[in-house]
Amino acid sequence: MLRPTRFISLVVALLPVLTAITPASAQSGTKSAILPIRTDGPKNLDPAKGSTTYDNMACSQLYETLLISKYSDPMQMEPLLLTEMPTSADGGLTWNFKLKPGVMFHDDACFPGGKGREMVAEDVFYSIRRLADPRYEYENWWLIDNTIKGFNAYKDKYVGSKNFSYDDPIEGFHKISDHEFEIELVEPVYRFLYVLSMFQTSIVPREAVEMYGEDFSFKPVGTGPFLLEDFIPKKHLKLIRNPNYHEVLYPAEEEWTSEDRRNRLHRAAGERVPFLDKLEFRMFVEDQPMWLRFSEGTIGYTEVPAEYFEQAFDPRTKRLKPEMRRSGVRDHHNALLDFIFRGFNMEDPLVGGYSEEKKALRQAINLAMNLDEFSTTFYQGNTVQYDGPIPPGLDGHPEGGRAPVSYRGPNLEFARQKLAAAGYPNGEGLPPIKFYTSQGANNPEQVELMKRQLARVGIVIEPNLVDFSTLIDFINNKKAPFFGFAWSSDYPDGENNLALFFGPNEAPGSNHYNYKRPEYDAMYEQIRTMTPGPERTEMYEKMRDMIIEDAPYVGSMARTRYYLINPWLLNCKPTERYWSWFKFLDVDDSKRP
């Protein structure tokens, strides 16, 4: 990797060349933008198979959900494929939905004459049914498990079968007309509407899935604002504007804050989207090429890698440097609903298990690690360190970040005591622990720091750095004893993070740790139907402290994400709360290099 000083010299040297480049949109008369994905990217383009942020980024341009987060305020939901928010007359047991008329699937050979047809109620039922199909290995079953009346029995009927039927009646699905339907739940599950805003519940046409079979992962057909032009995994995803996209308008002027207005985010209020004719995502496993592409003006925005933070910001005030502002570059930052962790496979014979000895080993690893050092070394101190899996800002997050039960280090003496209690005094007799993480960004350096910290008490890890998609495969197949990545909450409720430890959600579901405690599972079943309030918060805290005591992971950290936006990219307010906001972007080619 180039050091920052050499990097600046390289950019300066390139400037004469860069200013001679004519952007593709100026050449062709189209509006286009190139944006980064900061890993090797999505595994596929089928929402039923997706689980990662990068699957979400890709799928959300091609498919759509019934509900969506608002661009102007991502903590709020609004209808997307519906005419209004769903209603319930019985306290959340039965929900009524009214589909937006005239929403057309993409033109595709799977339809007669290649012309996309209108989306109807049966498409919603079909898309949800896919999560129960054994061919998708139940990766996203955790989202609707024990939620819709009769749906678990339907799923269980076909476990292990190759003859899954999409035509069996399901008690909880009630079609009223092509554009109106009801879904009846087993009980009033609080998160149900949130789930309908997640990309895994995107609406797809049966014709396309049946025509393309396994190839549907790379031949997407949805209702989204863009169509697939080309997808080369680990390299790029190229999209073109959907000419038949239903009417979606840019957020109204009154929805934007005063700061948003200063950044002119309100200027396109009321206009129909999408604005871009072409949208390309490029994958960057390493940060240096991404930073260079942004600096030369090729990509519209970038996350700010920690090693480049001081090139753009004053490290004390966190304000954008004057020279950056003068160039027209704009900054934006978000406090993420973030859970950065190093997880243990609780089924692994070395690091898993629930005996006092097994718990003591994992507690020792927690106590030997110094998350504050990780924060200052790799995140410019732009993180919050906290106990438990619930990030700041949500019910169940401990006050001040410290829970009554805590094994957060560094406490080397206590770590050595726990290591001895585990049967490994000073690490004697403890085999090297295999640790898996992705090879991008500064992860190799982070692994080296972790090795040094653990070595102080005699713990040795064996690093395995792989592509992000390979990492997820290892975790889903329970082959990674010890692993690290980050989880961003799917919706703003601590229940989403507590679901990560619910036994039935074991891998390949969201319970990557394969944590299974009957007492915990019973409490999780209870909170599913509880509405926000003191009683629910108290239950969240009990579950949080049980997880901390069992130590199925090392953590936790939450980042503030900093972005830089090139002056030619308009309407850009990056958020990780949802990934359908790219349709609101526009460009001004007169401001490109």
Contact yes or no for 543/523 (Cβ under 8 A): yes
Residue 299 in any domain: the answer is no
Alpha-carbon span 200 to 223, nearest angstrom: 14
Residue 477 in any domain: the answer is yes
The answer to whether the Cα torsion of 89, 90, 92, 95 is positive or negative is negative
The number of folded domains in the chain is 2
- The per-residue pLDDT for 40 is 86
Query: Does residue 206 share a domain with residue 69?
Result: yes
Output the domain CATH number for residue 200: 3.90.76.10
Question: Residues in the chain, how many?
Answer: 593
Domain that holds residue 430: 338-560
DSSP state of 106: P
Residue 29 in any domain: the answer is no
Output the domain CATH number for residue 360: 3.10.105.10
- The per-residue pLDDT for 28 is 58
Alpha-carbon span 457 to 533, nearest angstrom: 43
b/e per residue, 250-273, with b = 16+ CB within 10 A? bbeeebbeeebeebebbebeeeeb
Alpha-carbon span 460 to 472, nearest angstrom: 23
Instruction: Among 161, 193, 210, identify where a domain stops.
Output: 210
The closest alpha carbon to 68, from 581, 495, 571, belongs to 581
Residue 474 in any domain: the answer is yes
**HEC per residue, 347-413:** CCCCCCCCCHHHHHHHHHHHHHCCHHHHHHHHCCCCEEECCCCCCCCCCCCCHHHCCCCCCCCCCHH
Strand order across the beta sheet in which 173-177 lies? 94-98, 180-184, 173-177
Query: Could you tell me the mean pLDDT of each successive run of 10 residues in the chain, 593 residues long?
Result: 38 39 55 94 92 92 97 91 97 97 98 98 98 93 94 95 94 98 96 95 98 95 98 96 97 93 94 98 93 95 92 92 93 92 96 97 97 92 94 94 94 97 96 92 90 96 91 92 90 92 92 96 94 95 97 94 96 92 97 89
399: buried, middle or exposed (CB in 10 Å: 19+, 13-18, 0-12)? exposed
Query: Does residue 536 share a domain with residue 398?
Result: yes
196: buried, middle or exposed (CB in 10 Å: 19+, 13-18, 0-12)? buried
Residue 58 in any domain: the answer is no
Tell me the Cα Rg of the chain. Answer: 24
Alpha-carbon span 189 to 144, nearest angstrom: 10
Residue 38 in any domain: the answer is no
Residue 436 in any domain: the answer is yes
Alpha-carbon span 350 to 479, nearest angstrom: 13
Residue 243 in any domain: the answer is no
